[in-house]
């Protein structure tokens, strides 16, 4: 009888840990927002070049968090050339498993390159999706059990999943007949005796008004625009507020795609102006020396939502500062960072009023506690019957995701 002897796997070190663990260890580097955190081990690698990726991988390997004890001893015994070869193998596997795409520098046509261009990389949709999944696990993990599902409303409709009640059939309803209620209507109109004492094969005279269909809870879809502030204040005052906001946007994207497949999510960045960016490009977004043009962000969000054929529409605005910029009719940017400028506030509130007329709810998450800012946010929420949360970067995810999964028809006092 042939016997097979199994021995312990002695493959290369690049196979001794999962790439998912590596992606999680590199998440701070991959989602860098331009904040100079002196406590971050990736503080010197603030650009997505392949050389910086190599250094970040080296930092993750040196930390001892990826290997077990035996593999860590083997890693520490490697020479410098062997470590470089190991990093090459890891990057190759990251590309093969579609976590990153490497971009080699290209010289422009008809131009002579200077030879200083660096090879770059970008996180793929799969990589962003994985980081979003991990962010969702981290944000919802401390909350305990959650009942995921589609968005419930107060309304009822004819459907397949019944709630025990019936209604008269109307044109367009799902023809999920309630036979008991339908026959009861026939017997009540014609009398039970005519049915029992009649001929054996006499058909029932069912009329249109007798048809009854089961009712189910009406569940609707929602179009969401995340309005993300990327002004310079998001990394000022010794605190990185932008990276937690990016993690929440990725987690919300993963939640919508997996649990609410009928919903849509768009991402809009607002600063001196505003632009829409794909969620897959969120890892590359950084803050800059910008002001806060809240009105322009609201205008772009309205144009996006106007194209969505959804029952519910909402704007989730994450910001830490007051409106301080305004796009004038001639295209110039009016800026005033001192106090609440009456012109900027008035134009911004007019845009909020347009959202209200379009039945767009605005939920605001303010990452600051200035009294005048709190008054402004409360005014916005009152105008659109939305919600206002004054939170911190550490608790932002819990508040936002719990609000998204709650019923939108509920009145908040």
Backbone angles phi and psi of 131, in degrees to 5: -65, -35
pLDDT for the residue 324: 87
Residue that the structure tokens 């106090």 belong to: 339
Q: What is the pLDDT of residues 313-341, one digit of tens each?
A: 889 888 887 788 999 999 899 998 787 88
Confidence of residue 350 (pLDDT cuts 50, 70, 90): very high
Alpha helices (H) in 31-140, listed in sequence order: 50-62, 69-76, 80-96, 125-140
CB 322 within 8 A of CB 348: no
Residue 362: its H or E element? strand 360-366
* Contact status, residue 99 vs residue 126, Cβ threshold 8 Å: yes
- Can you tell me the mean pLDDT for 297-320? 89
Closest CA to 310 of 186, 224, 188, 233: 224
Least confident range of 147-151, 226-230, 384-388: 147-151
- For residue 42, CA distances in Å to 36, 281, 289 come to 9, 20, 22
Distance in angstroms between the alpha carbons of the first and the last residue of the chain: 77
Q: Are 26 and 280 in contact (CB under 8 A)?
A: no
pLDDT of residue 293: 92
Measured distance CA(275)–CA(398) in Å, rounded: 26
pLDDT band at residue 108 using 50, 70 and 90 as cut-offs:
very low
Q: Which of 51-60, 141-150, 188-197, 290-299 has the lowest mean pLDDT?
A: 141-150
User: 216 pLDDT band (50/70/90 cuts)?
Assistant: low
- Indicate whether 112 pLDDT > 80: no
Biggest distance spanned by C-alpha atoms of the chain: 101
pLDDT per position as a tens digit, 118-169 = 788 888 878 877 877 777 666 555 444 433 344 444 444 444 344 456 778 7
Residue 214 to residue 156: CA distance in whole angstroms = 10
* Span 167-186, pLDDT tens digits: 787 776 666 778 888 888 88
The answer to whether residues 160 and 216 touch, using CB atoms and an 8 Å cutoff, is yes
Q: Mean pLDDT of all residues in the chain?
A: 76
pLDDT confidence tier of residue 412, bands split at 50, 70 and 90: very low
Q: Which residue has the higher pLDDT, 139 or 30?
A: 30
Q: Which of 379, 331, 330, 380 is nearest to 227 (CA)?
A: 380
- Closest by alpha carbon to 361, among 389, 344, 390, 383? 383
- Mean pLDDT over 56-61 rounds to 87
Token pair in block for residue 89: 């193998």
């Amino acid at each position: 009888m042939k016997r097979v002897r199994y021995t312990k796997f002695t493959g290369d070190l690049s196979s001794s840990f999962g790439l998912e663990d590596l992606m999680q260890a590199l998440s701070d580097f991959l989602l860098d927002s331009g904040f100079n955190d002196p406590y971050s081990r990736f503080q010197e690698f603030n650009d997505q070049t392949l050389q910086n990726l190599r250094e970040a991988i080296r930092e993750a390997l040196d930390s001892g968090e990826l290997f077990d004890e035996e593999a860590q001893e083997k890693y520490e015994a490697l020479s410098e050339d062997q470590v470089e070869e190991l990093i090459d193998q890891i990057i190759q596997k990251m590309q093969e498993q579609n976590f990153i795409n490497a971009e080699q520098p290209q010289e422009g046509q008809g131009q002579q390159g200077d030879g200083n261009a660096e090879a770059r990389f970008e996180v793929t949709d799969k990589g962003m999706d994985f980081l979003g999944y991990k962010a969702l696990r981290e944000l919802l993990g401390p909350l305990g059990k959650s009942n995921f599902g589609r968005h419930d409303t107060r309304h009822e409709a004819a459907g397949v999943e019944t709630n025990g009640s019936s209604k008269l059939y109307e044109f367009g309803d799902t023809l999920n007949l309630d036979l008991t209620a339908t026959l009861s209507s026939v017997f009540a109109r014609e009398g039970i005796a005519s049915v029992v004492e009649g001929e054996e094969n006499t058909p029932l005279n069912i009329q249109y008004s007798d048809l009854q269909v089961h009712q189910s809870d009406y569940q609707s879809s929602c179009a969401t625009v995340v309005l993300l502030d990327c002004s310079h204040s998001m990394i000022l005052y010794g605190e990185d507020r932008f990276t937690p906001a990016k993690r929440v946007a990725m987690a919300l994207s993963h939640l919508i795609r997996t649990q609410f497949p009928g919903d849509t999510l768009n991402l809009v960045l607002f600063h001196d102006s505003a632009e829409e960016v794909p969620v897959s490009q969120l890892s590359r977004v950084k803050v800059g020396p910008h002001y806060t043009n809240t009105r322009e962000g609201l205008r772009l969000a309205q144009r996006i939502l106007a194209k969505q054929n959804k029952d519910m529409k909402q704007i989730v605005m994450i910001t830490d500062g007051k409106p301080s910029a305004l796009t004038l009719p001639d295209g110039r940017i009016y800026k005033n960072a001192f106090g609440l400028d009456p012109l900027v506030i008035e134009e911004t509130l007019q845009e909020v009023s347009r959202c209200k007329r379009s039945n767009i709810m605005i939920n605001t998450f303010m990452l600051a506690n200035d009294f005048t800012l709190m008054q402004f946010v409360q005014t916005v929420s009152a105008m659109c019957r939305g919600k206002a949360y004054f939170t911190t970067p550490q608790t932002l995810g819990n508040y936002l995701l719990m609000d998204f999964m709650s019923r939108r028809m509920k009145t908040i006092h």
